Amino acid sequence: MSNPSEAELIHMFKGIPFTIRSSPELLKSLDTFDAREDDVLLVSYPKSGTHWLAGVTAKLYNTQVTLTSPIEFGDISKLEELNKLSSKRIIPTHLDYNMLPPNFKKKKCKMIYISRNPKDTAVSMYHYYRDNPNLPTVDTWTAFFDLFVKGDVVCGSWFDHFLSWEEHANDKNILFLFYEDMKKDLPKIVKEISLFLGLNVSDNDIQDICKKSSFSEMKSDTEKENSDPSHTVCALTSNRRLIFRKGAVGDWKNHFTPKQNRRFEEIFNEKMKLSKMAKSLTYEF
């Protein structure tokens, strides 16, 4: 098979850009997906700490759980594959709330949404675009910045994604987390996750999980693991080396020009004016 051309790497579904790693047939079938009451969903916009959150969450269970690849990653056989799993499923996704299979909502499955300062998310995504052959080529940060603020990137507008989930922030089955808080006080967040999931985890175990889940520890684990293409928590690539880059808080300051920063803040203030959570995101803004 010849390499797909740039234009073919992305397709639109319900107005949102997806990579061809998410087949249109799969996306269309999500509506009928059979959720189970004990499914746990890990939700994020790309490059917001998905992998890190997944690593921590899976370690909290001492029973058999399966951390799947994202529900929208793959072709139509994906749903069959998920149905066959006998163990408890932890399912990552980058879908916005409106695209989520309705069964997850009906069955009130537990969902954890992790968010990150959108400026850092943009920078992280820029590097990802540059290193990932499954995504269109972006030559400069300036060009990528324009695409990001317009929402012309894979998974669509960061703002729309965040707001679609924030609308449900008070639902009892949804926990909102911030990447920066994980960086600042991981034990506190791990405790919060365990309580939310109804798991009885001792403080010693929490300390232990945190040790094994530091960013650098997980980065080196990921680089050591074999690159099994089906074993991915990110819907955009199966190359695990691309997952962890810097994980820094505030890296945007090394990329944004003052003019870009003003433009971003104007758009942020406009789009997020009704958001109650916007101020939690303005960490080192």
CA distance linking residue 91 with residue 233, whole number of Å? 9
Residue 186 · residue 213 · CB < 8 Å: yes
Catalytic residue of the set 94, 127, 161, 255: 94
- Specify whether the backbone of 198 is left (phi greater than 0), alpha (psi in -120 to 50) or beta: left
Residue 4 · residue 21 · CB < 8 Å: no
CA distance linking residue 169 with residue 163, whole number of Å? 10
Residue 156 · residue 15 · CB < 8 Å: yes
Q: Which of 111, 107, 145 is nearest to 126 (CA)?
A: 145
Residue 91 · residue 41 · CB < 8 Å: yes
3-state SS assignment for residue 261 = helix
The terminus-to-terminus CA distance of the chain in angstroms comes to 45
CA distance linking residue 78 with residue 258, whole number of Å? 44
Q: Verify whether residue 94 is a known catalytic residue.
A: yes
Active site residues: 94
